[in-house]
Structure 1
């Protein structure tokens, strides 16, 4: 009889404990800590989003729902949510990093993904960097990743001669082009674009080319690198 009574008492205690754990009023979440390098998202905004939508106490709060809430912010790329005893959520967030414009309509992140972001002047609230500070990519649908790959290979080489790529892309026939920050447009053609760019950079560094640039200035508008053993230069002075 005593054993039965003890068993019933234990079941009753466990049931009470379980109901206490399930009660959303048990150990309510009182603090939300946001971690991560945030350039475009106010951590206080994220905290407010969590407090507004997250329901439940420490034991039964739905961490998946909290994660989905944070991911609803278009700047957020990844989220990790953990409980910290007895009343805290620790949320580590990772933002998308915009590296280029896409057809003046969208942005591209550092993995070549198109970002569906709100129309905003700044892409970095901390540095006040704007979309116009980024290079512009253009190409057929689905080519953003390939364009970014080539850009990452070519941009450091261009920088070695003091230039920057302001526009880069290809058309439907995979004919590549590049516009530099000095206004020059390079026609790279199809295939071997790295070799053709290297040929241009070698010529660009020569004294003859620098003298030509000095004499014609901004009238030097286009350089065609599609030839096997040379280049063609177009200048507005020829018009």
Structure 2
């Protein structure tokens, strides 16, 4: 009978469902715990940055200790660093323009007013300003790069901007003369014309566009090329062909070449 009971009794199998649920629940709790730890670590890393922590401590302490503090005078700016590479501007000049406007506190200083003051200077192209804790301003200035003279007193930058410097630099740059507001268009045409003349070895030093929109070019050699109003590219191509075949070989000094003819041109020679 004992044997029969032993044979009939079977050890029950353990259920894997509860075990699986327990393991899953453990994993979920672990993941939640890991996420919370990561978020806490991020927060602690953010808060424990030295400069940030110091500024928060100083700010909170000042508000608690001096509730009527004048934020405009709190932590006054004592240092201004000018950054950039300059040919025509001077760091001291930029510093002197900046310092009177930066008289407010670290938090109240008007960065837009400083930028406006500097951007009005003829040689300044762009300005960026940022604060550096606890009492410093970093001012980055980009200087204009001139590519040509406009009229008698103006200049044109690489971006086609017209400006009038206090003193005209002694640079070997092309001079452009034309109607008001045409400087950008003329600069673009100058670049194209110089490219078309590349094969001749001639260099344009003067470009004139008169009131009738007629073009006249003057080369470094003193040669004057009259192109007129229309068919500028065709006339320049004709000039290049003729110059290489005939005029370049002729040793006589040319005063001007007039290309304003339908199928030809005229040449005026300098007197011996």
- Once the two structures are superposed, residues 97-137 of structure 1 have per-residue CA deviations (whole angstroms, 9 ceiling, x without a partner) of 2222222232222333321221x242xxxxxxx15x22111
Point out where structure 1 has 5 or more consecutive residues left out of the alignment: 1-10, 123-129
Q: 1:231 aligns with which of 265, 268, 271?
A: 265
Higher share in strand: 1
Q: 1:22 aligns with which of 66, 71, 95?
A: 71
Mapped partners of 2:64, 2:229: distance in 1: 72
Local SS of the residue matching 1:33: strand
Does residue 92 in structure 1 map to residue 140 in structure 2? yes
Q: TM-score under structure 1 normalisation?
A: 0.78
Q: Taking structure 1 as reference, are residues 13 and 73 closer, same or farther at Cα in structure 2, changes over 3 Å only? A: closer
Q: Taking structure 1 as reference, are residues 136 and 45 closer, same or farther at Cα in structure 2, changes over 3 Å only? A: same
- Once the two structures are superposed, residues 179-235 of structure 1 have per-residue CA deviations (whole angstroms, 9 ceiling, x without a partner) of 0011111111112212211221222222x32221x2x13xx1111112233221111
Contact 2:148/2:174, CA 8 A, preserved across alignment: yes
Q: 2:227 aligns with which of 188, 193, 198?
A: 188
Higher relative contact order (CA 8 A, sep 6+): 1
Mapped partners of 1:13, 1:221: distance in 2: 79
Does residue 53 in structure 1 map to residue 101 in structure 2? yes
Local SS of the residue matching 2:127: strand
Matches within 5 A, 1:90-129: 90-118=138-166, 120-122=167-169
Mapped partners of 1:59, 1:98: distance in 2: 37
Mapped partners of 1:135, 1:57: distance in 2: 47
Mapped partners of 1:112, 1:48: distance in 2: 28
Does residue 179 in structure 1 map to residue 235 in structure 2? no
Q: Taking structure 1 as reference, are residues 19 and 99 closer, same or farther at Cα in structure 2, changes over 3 Å only? A: farther
Could you say which residue in structure 1 is the equivalent of 2:256?
A: 222
Could you say which residue in structure 2 is the equivalent of 1:33?
A: 81
Point out where structure 2 has 5 or more consecutive residues left out of the alignment: 1-59
Contact 2:124/2:143, CA 8 A, preserved across alignment: yes
The CA deviation at 1:94 is: 2.0
Matches within 5 A, 1:154-169: 154-169=193-208
Contact 1:21/1:60, CA 8 A, preserved across alignment: no
Paired residues, number = 213
Contact 2:153/2:168, CA 8 A, preserved across alignment: no
Could you say which residue in structure 2 is the equivalent of 1:70?
A: 118
